[in-house]
Chains A and B, each alone.
Chain A
């Protein structure tokens, strides 16, 4: 089954404690992205990757890091989380100009 898998689904953490949200896709897609979704602001792109070892900033990259060492995996790293990073996060993968497939979402709370 074609899918994008994110983990964890829910996470509560404290300010400053490094965390990683994993994302894996089994469709051999070239493009992967991370979005955050906040009420009234829609889906905003954090980082995206065009292929292995190729990443670039989206619209809201501050406070986040990513890596793409393998084609299927695209983890999101928060080195020092802050309360303003409390949000619903989605990973997505796709090919050029086609449908984006989304993971199940990660609801992150930073206290």
Chain B
């Protein structure tokens, strides 16, 4: 079992719709969870961080964390073509480890 799993996609959504991206992790001791957006050939950039169970909202983005189910998700409301990118989930299973999933490619159709 991979430490952090994501569906590779592509996930295609029409412009204006809600995109839902999911991530599961294997280490129950994980403390911090991050979503990064990466455009092709560019560096990952942080979208959201979440540390406790529940929802965290920032503009059009909402991160959801459920530690009991070892599940973290990212919702993008009112999706725009500029949101088309690969979204990476990252988890910290220990002080030194910082593990990325393989990413989900999102395509927002105009």
A42 touches B88 (CB 8 A): yes
Q: Of A16-24, A79-87, A101-109, which stretch is located at the interface?
A: A101-109
CA distance A98 to B101 in the complex (A): 17
Chain B nearest CB from A8 CB (Å) reads 15
9 contacts between A and B (CB under 8 A): A43-B44, A48-B96, A90-B43, A90-B44, A97-B31, A98-B32, A100-B98, A104-B43, A105-B42
Q: Which of B32, B96, B100, B102 is A50 in contact with, Cβ under 8 Å?
A: B96
Interface size class on chain B is 20 to 34
Q: Which residues of B contact A98 (CB under 8 A)?
A: 32, 49
CA distance A104 to B42 in the complex (A): 7
Query: Secondary structure of the A side of the interface?
Result: strand
Those 8 A-B pairs whose CB atoms lie nearest each other, nearest first = A42-B102, A102-B43, A97-B32, A43-B100, A99-B46, A97-B92, A42-B100, A102-B44
The answer to whether B65 has its CB under 8 Å from any CB of chain A is no
Chain A nearest CB from B4 CB (Å) reads 9
B8 touches A40 (CB 8 A): yes
Q: How many residues of A contact B (CB 8 A)?
A: 24
Q: Which of A56, A102, A107 is B96 in contact with, Cβ under 8 Å?
A: A56
CA distance A56 to B97 in the complex (A): 11
Chain B nearest CB from A56 CB (Å) reads 7
CA distance A48 to B97 in the complex (A): 9
As a 0/1 sequence over residues 55 to 71 of chain A, the CB contacts with chain B under 8 angstroms (1 = contact) are 01000000000000000
A31-B96, A104-B43 given as contacts; is B31 within 8 A of A41 (CB)?
no
Q: Which residues of A contact B98 (CB under 8 A)?
A: 31, 33, 45, 48, 94, 100
CA distance A100 to B90 in the complex (A): 10
